[in-house]
């Protein structure tokens, strides 16, 4: 062996050991010790060395997880020790645990005088059973359960699951160790996967179990590698040559954990029926907060010797039982599909369901998100569907049983007008949601519209927050925006948590807000797609509100940065009589601004000036400063050049400040900037 090759071999060994250690900390302990970038660097170094020395590549190298060609089918595997199933207790009360303990005691010939039996208790994971074969510590085969006797060889797929060690962490592993456990998918990973599938127009999965099972049985390992799978061990199959064989199930799981195999920490050793019931209740109360689905807990006689004595009946061990929780999926029927209007005007179709008990609560509604979702699902009114409620995820329709569709099932049609206010409901190009266009008028959006109107960057009514708006709208005192300007001090003082003084302050703030600018006023109307910048551009371009209101779509589209979608939205807004009425009433009640040329000059006081910002400002964000400078006609640039007029220097400035000083460009501190923005220079 050459010296170069020897040193490469040594480095490769080191890298594999380090990477395996980090994999273990990251995937099994969930406690990474190095940043991802550092891990990537090590991984790439190993890849480079292995590419230069292909003869040094071994199957347990961390670079060799994804490999092999797509298969036409999976080879079969005969399990030397069959993969059994377990009896299920469906009595979801304490009875389930009591039955099992009584049976075990009877079969062991114990009497009331004997001490309680010790049980290992664990979760019943909802995934796919897998057997992992380790020979002298090396993962040589992974197989599905199949019919319990004969399964499928899914080694190439299982090797892509980062949590599963390719080599056990042990200097003296058993000569043969078959680890039995469950491949599953975490809920967050499942949600992300489905979101991605939806985005890419692929098929979504009904639940994490189906997603996990489907991923393991992919014929192309590269596809499996893309699916975020996890694994928990819960037992063993064939073993031999185990230097310190465990005596109890608890010890067995501890040993597997020491080998670097993931074992769930939610496990315990308890005594007697009471211990079982306590575990069942404790886990049941926390079930929704677990990061993965379970459908129950599993009780196992802890002593492996007693397990042998108890033996099996047909295909089920007498020493174990699964104790189920109420199901998180149920069949029910869509009675109707109604449309709800949210605070922001979004129309959401909601399925009215025949009430059904699922995941511990009775459900009679489930969101159907939008019309595309309904179409993709193929759901009709009258259909039988699977609803799912797991964790704190809101109830969802996850599948339609088309074969049970009744003859009178009806297709859902999205309304073209808002069901709350009758305004036009619009689905814009490239969007999935349909929205009500009656923002100012629609009762569903009233609170949102007022809060937006009152916000600091809009008309700016200091002190008018959510709680007050709730009271004003709920009491019907404010039905539409102009009502705000008819409120009296006495009325305001009558609201909850309002003293005479704060009522007076709010009244004054309302009065002050009447003096505004055209740009602010346009922005405050909450026209869809019209943010501050667009409002400013409209004010500058048209000069007068009447001109904006009268403009045709083509004229609106002449404004810089206003495209056809925005132009259509503005036009639609002012085309509606009730919106024009709100505008007229607001003006009648005293809201005013300077129109025409004066506005234009005031607005353009910084025209032709270029600013560069550096460091942190304390009274506003950089984005705000940028917008406000632009509002006055200034340009804001990212880097200093000879063309820069001013550099604004905040705390901890970057190199831009130094560069500006070199070029002799005047620097402004925050106070000077504030003066300039306020027109006091
Ligand atoms: S023990 C001999 N423990 O449930 C006992 N099984 O019917 C073998 N399962 O598909 C099974 N969590 O994959 C056991 N903590 C757990 C389990 C568990 C889930 C699955 C298993 C099998 C089914 C048993």
- Asked if residue 290 has pLDDT above 60, the reply is yes
Looking at residue 681, what is its pLDDT? Answer: 46
In the beta sheet, which residues pair with residue 383? none
Q: Are 105 and 309 in contact (CB under 8 A)?
A: no
User: CA-to-CA distance for 435 and 279, rounded, in angstroms?
Assistant: 48
pLDDT in tens, 540-587: 889 999 999 999 999 999 998 899 999 999 999 999 898 999 999 999
**Lowest mean pLDDT: which of 132-146, 222-236, 642-656?**
642-656
- Find the 157 Cα to ligand 1 centroid distance in Å: 21
Q: Give the chain's largest Cα–Cα span.
A: 101
Residue nearest to ligand 1 atom 23, measured at CA: 85
* pLDDT number for residue 599: 53
* Ligand 1: residue whose CA is nearest its atom 15: 124
Residue 552: CB atoms within 10 A of its CB come to 10
Q: 3-class DSSP state for residue 245?
A: coil
Catalytic site positions: 124
Buried b vs exposed e over 561-576: b needs ≥16 C-beta within 10 Å? ebeeebbbbbbbbbeb
The tens digit of pLDDT for each residue in 475-506 reads 999 988 999 999 999 999 999 888 899 999 99
pLDDT of residue 71: 76
Atom of ligand 1 nearest to the CA of 123: 15
Task: Give the Cβ contact number of residue 538 at 10 Å.
Answer: 25
H/E segment holding residue 233: strand 230-240
410/402 Cα distance (integer angstroms): 13
pLDDT tens, position by position, 201-218: 788 888 999 999 999 999
Please state whether beta strands 610-614 and 635-637 pair in parallel, antiparallel, or not at all (unpaired): parallel
Using the mean position of ligand 1's atoms as its centre, give its distance from the Cα of residue 124 in Å. 7
pLDDT in tens, 382-397: 999 999 987 777 888 9
Question: Ligand 1 atom 2: the closest Cα is on which residue?
Answer: 84
The pTM for the full model equals 0.70
DSSP per residue, 104-120: HHHHHT--TTSPPPEEE
pLDDT tens digits, one per residue of 299-343: 999 999 999 999 998 889 999 999 988 888 899 999 999 999 988
Please determine, for residue 28, whether its predicted confidence score (pLDDT) is greater than 50.
yes
Q: 357-373, pLDDT tens digit by residue?
A: 987 789 999 999 999 99
Give 125 Cα–ligand 1 centroid separation in angstroms.
8
CB contact set of 187 (below 8 Å; sequence gap of 6+)? 208, 291, 292, 293, 390, 391, 393
Instruction: Measure 279 CA to ligand 1 centroid, in angstroms.
Output: 17
At residue 92's C-alpha, the angle toward residues 86 and 97, to 5°, is 60
pLDDT surpassing 70 at residue 601: no
Q: What is the pLDDT of residues 94-129, one digit of tens each?
A: 788 999 999 999 999 999 999 999 999 999 999 999
pLDDT, one tens digit per residue, over 213-233 is 999 999 999 999 999 999 999
Pick 80 or 31 by higher pLDDT. 80
Best of 84, 86, 208, 280 to mutate for ligand 1, by most ligand atoms within 8 A of CB? 86
| Residue located nearest, by CA, to atom 18 of ligand 1 | 124
Atom of ligand 1 lying closest to residue 85 CA = 7
pLDDT at 92 over 80: no
Cβ neighbours around 255 below 10 Å, total: 19
Q: Which residues contact 374 (CB under 8 A, 6 or more apart)?
A: 337, 349, 368, 412
The residue whose CA is least distant from atom 21 of ligand 1 is 129
Could you tell me what percent of the chain has a pLDDT over 90? 66
Task: Output the pLDDT for position 604.
Answer: 65
pLDDT by residue (tens digit) across 240-252? 999 889 999 999 9
Nearest Cα residue to atom 24 of ligand 1: 85
Pocket test for ligand 1, best of 122, 129, 183, 253 (most atoms within 8 A of CB): 129
Residue 288: phi, psi to the nearest 5? -65, -25
Q: Work out whether the CA dihedral 638, 639, 643, 648 comes out positive or negative.
A: positive
Instruction: Examine the pLDDT at 294 and tell me if it is beyond 60.
Output: yes
| Tokens encoding 653 | 């400035």
Alpha-carbon span 273 to 101, nearest angstrom: 6
From 322, 323, 325, the mutation candidate for ligand 1 (largest count of ligand atoms within 8 A of CB) is 322
pLDDT of 460 over the 80 cut: yes
Residues within 6 Å of ligand 1 by CB = 84-86, 122-125, 129, 182, 234-235, 298, 317, 320
The first and second tokens of residue 542, run together, are 């048209």
Helix/strand/coil for 323: strand
d(CA 85, CA 517): 74
Q: Which of 639, 678, 637 is nearest to 656 (CA)?
A: 639
pLDDT at 344 over 90: no
CA of 189 to the centre of ligand 1 (A): 22
φ, ψ for residue 43 (rounded to 5)?
-65, -45
Q: What is the mean pLDDT of the chain?
A: 91
Ordered strands of the 118-125 beta sheet: 87-89, 320-324, 294-301, 118-125, 268-271
Q: Which numbered atom of ligand 1 lies nearest the CA of 235? A: 1
Residue 603 has what pLDDT? Answer: 59
Ligand 1, atom 13, residue with closest C-alpha: 129
User: CA dihedral in degrees (208, 209, 211, 212; nearest 10)?
Assistant: 110
Q: Write out the H or E segment, with its range, that includes residue 18.
A: helix 3-23
At 597 the pLDDT is 53
Q: How far is the centre of ligand 1, averaged over its atoms, from the C-alpha of 236 (Å)?
A: 11
* Best of 148, 234, 307 for a ligand 1 pocket test (most atoms within 8 Å of beta carbon): 234
Question: Quick one: which atom of ligand 1 is closest to the CA of 126?
Answer: 19
631 pLDDT higher than 80: no
Cα(85) to centroid(ligand 1), Å: 6
Residue the block writes with tokens 């050049």: 641
């Amino acid at each position: 062996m050459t010296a170069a090759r020897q040193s490469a071999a040594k480095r490769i060994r080191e890298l594999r050991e380090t990477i395996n250690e980090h994999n273990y900390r990251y995937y099994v302990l969930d406690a990474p010790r190095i940043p991802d970038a550092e891990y990537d660097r090590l991984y790439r170094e190993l890849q480079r060395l292995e590419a230069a020395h292909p003869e040094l590549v071994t199957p347990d190298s961390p670079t060799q997880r994804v490999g092999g060609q797509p298969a036409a089918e999976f080879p079969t595997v005969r399990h030397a020790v069959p993969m059994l199933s377990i009896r299920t207790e469906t009595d979801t009360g304490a009875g389930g645990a009591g039955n099992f303990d009584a049976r075990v005691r009877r079969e062991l010939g114990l009497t009331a005088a004997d001490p309680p039996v010790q049980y290992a208790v664990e979760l019943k994971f909802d995934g796919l059973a897998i057997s992992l074969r380790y020979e002298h510590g090396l993962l040589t085969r992974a197989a599905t359960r199949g019919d319990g006797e004969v399964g499928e060889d899914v080694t190439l797929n299982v090797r892509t699951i980062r949590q599963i060690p390719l080599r056990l962490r042990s200097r003296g592993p058993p000569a043969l160790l078959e680890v039995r456990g469950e491949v599953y998918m975490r809920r967050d990973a499942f949600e992300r996967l489905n979101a991605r599938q939806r985005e890419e127009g692929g098929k979504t999965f009904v639940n994490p179990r189906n997603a996990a099972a489907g991923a393991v049985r992919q014929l192309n390992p590269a596809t499996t590698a893309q699916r975020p799978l996890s694994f928990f061990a819960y037992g063993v199959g064939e073993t031999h040559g185990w230097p310190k064989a465990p005596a109890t199930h608890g010890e067995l799981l501890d040993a597997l954990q020491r080998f670097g195999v993931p074992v769930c920490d939610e496990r315990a050793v308890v005594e007697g029926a009471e211990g079982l019931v306590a575990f069942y209740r404790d886990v049941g109360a926390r079930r929704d907060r677990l990061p993965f689905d379970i459908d129950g807990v599993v009780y196992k006689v802890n002593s492996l010797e007693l397990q042998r004595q108890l033996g099996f009946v047909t295909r089920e061990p007498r020493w174990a039982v699964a104790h189920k929780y109420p199901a998180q999926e149920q069949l029910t029927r869509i009675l109707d599909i109604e449309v709800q209007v949210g605070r922001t005007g979004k129309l959401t179709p909601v399925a009215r369901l025949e009430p059904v008990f699922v995941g511990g609560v009775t459900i009679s509604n489930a969101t159907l998100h939008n019309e595309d979702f309904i179409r993709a699902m193929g759901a009709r009114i009258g259909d039988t569907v699977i609803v799912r409620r797991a964790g704190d995820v809101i109830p969802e329709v996850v599948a339609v049983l088309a074969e049970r569709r009744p003859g009178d099932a009806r297709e859902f049609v999205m309304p073209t007008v808002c069901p709350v206010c009758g305004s036009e409901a619009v689905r814009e190009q490239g969007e999935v949601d349909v929205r009500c266009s009656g923002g100012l008028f629609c009762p569903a959006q009233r609170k949102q519209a007022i809060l937006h109107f009152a916000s600091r960057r809009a008309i700016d009514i200091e002190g008018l927050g959510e709680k007050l708006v709730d009271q004003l709208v709920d009491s019907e005192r404010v039905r539409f925006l102009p009502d705000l300007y008819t409120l009296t001090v006495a009325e305001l003082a009558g609201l909850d948590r309002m003293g005479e003084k704060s009522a007076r302050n709010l009244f004054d703030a309302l009065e002050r807000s009447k003096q505004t600018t055209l740009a602010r006023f346009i922005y405050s109307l909450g026209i869809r797609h019209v943010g501050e910048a667009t409002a400013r551009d409209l004010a500058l371009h048209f000069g007068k509100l009447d001109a904006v209101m009268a403009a045709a779509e083509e004229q609106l589209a002449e404004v810089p940065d206003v495209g056809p979608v925005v132009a259509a939205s503005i036009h639609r807004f002012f085309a509606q009589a009730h919106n024009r009425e709100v505008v007229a009433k607001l003006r009648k009640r005293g809201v005013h601004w300077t129109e025409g040329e004066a506005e234009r000059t005031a607005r353009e006081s910084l025209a032709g000036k270029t600013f560069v910002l550096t460091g942190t400002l304390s009274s506003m964000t950089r984005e705000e400063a940028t917008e406000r400078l632009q509002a006055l006609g200034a340009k804001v640039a990212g880097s200093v050049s000879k063309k820069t007029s001013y550099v604004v220097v905040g705390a901890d400035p970057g190199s831009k400040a130094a560069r500006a000083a070199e070029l002799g460009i005047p620097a402004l501190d925050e106070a000077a900037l504030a003066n300039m923005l306020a027109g006091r220079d």
